[in-house]
Amino acid sequence: MGQDFRVSGHDDGRRIDKIIRKKWPDLPLSAIMRAFRKGMVKVDGRRVDFSSRVASGNCVFVPWDDPEAGASKDVSARFRDSRPEIEIIYADNDLCIVNKPWNLLSQPDTAGGESVISRTTAALDWKDTTFLPTPVHRLDRNTSGAMVLALNGVALRALHEAWRRESVRKTYLALVSGETPDEGRIDSPLLKTGEENIVGIDTDRGKKALTRFEKIKGDPSVSLLLVELLTGRPHQARVHLASIGHPLIGDIKYGDRKVNAEWRLLGIQRPMLHSRSIEFRSLPDPMVHLSGKKFIAVPPSDFMGVLSGRGWRLYNRGV
C-alpha cells in the first residue's frame, strides 16, 4: 500500500506537508501528521519531518493510495472547454493579468464552476495538468478590472511575498453618490461577521484598514474617485466610502436604497467599483523585468456609460 510521486517544478522549495495537503485536500490533517510521526513519509527513500523542504524532481513516498488521481487529471481539460470570454492584458511564462468581468467569481464555488480561473485557463489554452492559473489576490464577484494570476508555483510564492512587502500598488475607480471632497483618507478599523458576510466599522475589535481617494470628476449627484487600498480587507472600499456618506452607486449591501433604485432604472445592477491598475514596484527573478511596470484595465460598458453620459473622460486626467 502507498505510492510515489515526483515533486514538480511548481513546488520547488516548498514544505512537504503543504504539498501533500494540496495534493490530497480531503485527507484529514491528523492522518497526515500521524504518517510523518511514524516515519512513513519519505523523500528519496529517507524519512523526513513535516516541515522539510523539497526540490523539483525529489521522489516522495506516502503510505496511502489515491483513488481520485485519475479523475483529477481531467480538471484542466474541463476548463479548456469553457469559452475564453476574458480579456488578457498581459501574459508571460510566470504570470497573467486579466481584465475581470463583473458577475464572475475569482475562484469557482463548485467543482468545475465558472470563474476567472476557468476562463483564463480556456483563453490561454492551458495544458499543464499539475498547476492551474491561480489568483494572487481576489476581487469581489461584482467588481471588475485588473487581476493577477500566477502561472506556476514559484511565481505564486514570489507574488504573495511581493504583496506582503507592499511592493504592488493597486488603484480602483469608484462611482459614488454625492459630491466628495477633492481628496481624503479613511482609517476606520473593519470587522467581518462570518454568517452574514457583512463588514462594519468596529474601533474595538476591527482590523486596521486604510483607504485613500482622490476625486477625478464630480457633480452634486455622483463623483468619480481614484481609490487606493493600502490594506486589503474584505469590502474595504465599499464600507469605507459608505462610512463618509458617499456609498458606491449600485451597492445594495452598503449603499442608499433610494439612490440605487434610481440608478437601476438607468441599467446599473452592481456596485460601481473597478480595479483600474496594477503597478509592480519591485519583483524578484524571474519577474524582475516587470518591476516599475503598470498595467491598466479599461472599465466595462456599464461603468463607461455613466462617464460618457456626463462627458467625463479618464484620459483627460491621465487616470
pLDDT tens digits for range 40-76: 999 998 999 888 999 988 999 999 876 544 444 444 4
Per the listing, cell 474595538 goes with 204
In the chain, where the domains are located: 3-71, 73-164, 168-279+289-316
Nearest 5°: CA angle at 104, between 311 and 176?
Answer: 35
Specify the higher pLDDT residue, 34 or 100.
Answer: 100
Catalytic site residue 94?
A: no
Q: Are 214 and 234 in contact (CB under 8 A)?
A: no
Q: H-type helices in 178-289, by residue range?
A: 236-243, 257-264
Highest mean pLDDT: which range of 25-39, 55-69, 206-220, 305-319? 206-220
* Of the candidate ranges 106-110, 159-163, 296-300, 303-307, the one whose mean pLDDT is the lowest: 106-110
Mean pLDDT computed over 290-317? 90
| Cis preceding linkage at 286, omega within 30 | yes
The CATH number fitting domain 168-279+289-316, selected from 1.20.210.10, 3.40.50.170, 3.30.2350.10, 1.10.3720.10: 3.30.2350.10
pLDDT tens digits for range 236-255: 999 999 999 999 999 999 99
**CATH T-level assignment (fold) for domain 73-164:** Pseudouridine synthase (3.30.2350)
Looking at domain 3-71, its CATH class is alpha beta
Q: Half-sphere exposure of 206 toward its Cβ, with a 13 Å CA cutoff?
A: 21
Nearest 5°: CA angle at 230, between 257 and 195?
Answer: 50
The one catalytic residue in 11, 140, 251, 256 is: 140
CA-based Rg of the chain, rounded to a whole angstrom? 22
